Amino acid sequence: MSTGAPALARATSVRPPREAYGRILLLAGLVVPASLIAILALLIKGSALSIGTFGPGFVVAREWDPVHLHFGALTFIYGTFVSSIIGLLLALPIGIAVAVFLAEPGLGWLKGPIGIGVEMLAAIPSVVYGLWALFVMAPWVYLHISSPASERLGRFPVFAPDAQQASMLAGALVLTIMILPSLAAVSRDVIRAVPREMREASYALGTTWWETTWRIVLPAARAGIFGAVILAFGRAVGETIAVTMVIGNRPSITASVVQPAYTMASVIANEFTEATVPLHISSLIEIGLLLILITLALNLGALLLIRSVKRL
C-alpha cells in the first residue's frame, strides 16, 4: 500500500488537466467549419472574374458558349435538380421498403445476405456504376422504356420524341441505384431505434403488422427518415462520373426525360481540364461554388426540418 500511493500520485500529476481535453476537442471541432470556410473562400476567389462579369444573371442565364465567352448556369442547375429528384422519387419507396424488411424481426437467414448486399452497393466505385449503366442499363432502358414511351406517348412533353439512349432518364436511374444503399441503410437503423414497447402496445390493441408499421413505426421514425432522404438527395446532387457517362451532356432545358441533359458536376468534370480562357475557368469555378452552396442549403434545410418534425 505504501508503494501504491506514490505511484498513483505520480500518475495523477502527469495526467493532462480537464481544460486541456476541452481545448483539444474544441480545436478538433473547429477543423470542420474552418475547412468549409477555406473551401468557400477559395471558390469565391476563383470565381471572382465570372461573378464580376455576369453578376446574378449567371444563375438564370441558359447560354453556355465557350467560343464566344457567354456563360450561364441555369441549364446545369435544371439538369442537376431534375435528375436528382427523379432518382430520389424512384429510390424512396424501394429504400423504405427494404429498410422496413431489414429492421423488422423474422427471416433472419434471408436478411443477412440482403443487408450485406445493400451495404456492398455503397462500396462500388462511381465509375463502375457508370460503366455498367453505359453498356448495360442505358441500352436496355432505351429499347424497352424510352423508345416505346416516346413512340406511344410522344404527344406528352415528358416523353417528347425522339428518344435517345443517353438521356435524363438514364442518368436518373443510375442515381436511383447509387443512392438506394445509403437511403436504405440509414432508414433501417432509424426504424430499428423505435422502441419495441411501441410495437408491442400496438399489437396488444389488435392491430396488424402492416397497421403497426404504417401508423406507429414509420411516424415515430419520420425525423430520421427525413434525414436519410436529404442525405441521399445530397449524394445525388453531387454525383459526377456515373451521371456524366449516361446523361448525354447536352446543355439544354427540355421537359422530356428521354432527351439528353447536363448537370453541374458533369460540366465541371468535362470542361475544367480543357478550359484555357480565364473567364471560362472562372465560370466553371462559380458553378462549383453554386453546387456547394446548394448542398449546404439542403443540409441546413434538412436540419431545420428534422427539428420541426421532432417537435410535432
Q: Where are the domains of the chain?
A: 47-310
- Does residue 115 contact residue 191 with C-beta atoms inside 8 Å? no
- Does residue 192 contact residue 103 with C-beta atoms inside 8 Å? yes
In the chain, the percentage of residues whose pLDDT exceeds 70 is 92
Superfamily holding 47-310? MetI-like (1.10.3720.10)
pLDDT tens-place string over residues 183-192: 998 888 888 8
In this prediction, residue 71 has a pLDDT band, given cuts at 50, 70 and 90, of: very high
Q: What is the mean pLDDT of residues 27-45?
A: 91
Contacts with 96 (C-beta within 8 Å, 6 or more apart), sequence order: 183, 184, 187, 218, 225
pLDDT tens-place string over residues 246-258: 999 999 899 999 9
Report DSSP letters for 82-139, one per residue. Answer: HHHHHHHHHHHHHHHHHHHHHHSSS-HHHHHHHHHHHHHHHHS-HHHHHHHIIIIIHH
pLDDT tens-place string over residues 102-157: 887 766 677 778 888 888 888 888 999 999 999 999 999 999 999 999 998 888 88
Q: Residue 102: its pLDDT value, please?
A: 87
Contacts with 303 (C-beta within 8 Å, 6 or more apart), sequence order: none
Q: Can you count the helices (H) and strands (E) in the chain?
A: 17, 0
The cell for 140 is 436496355
In the chain, the percentage of residues whose pLDDT exceeds 90 is 47
- Does residue 29 contact residue 50 with C-beta atoms inside 8 Å? no
| Predicted model pTM | 0.86
Q: Find the range with the poorest average confidence among 13-17, 24-28, 259-263, 303-307.
A: 13-17
- Does residue 160 contact residue 259 with C-beta atoms inside 8 Å? yes
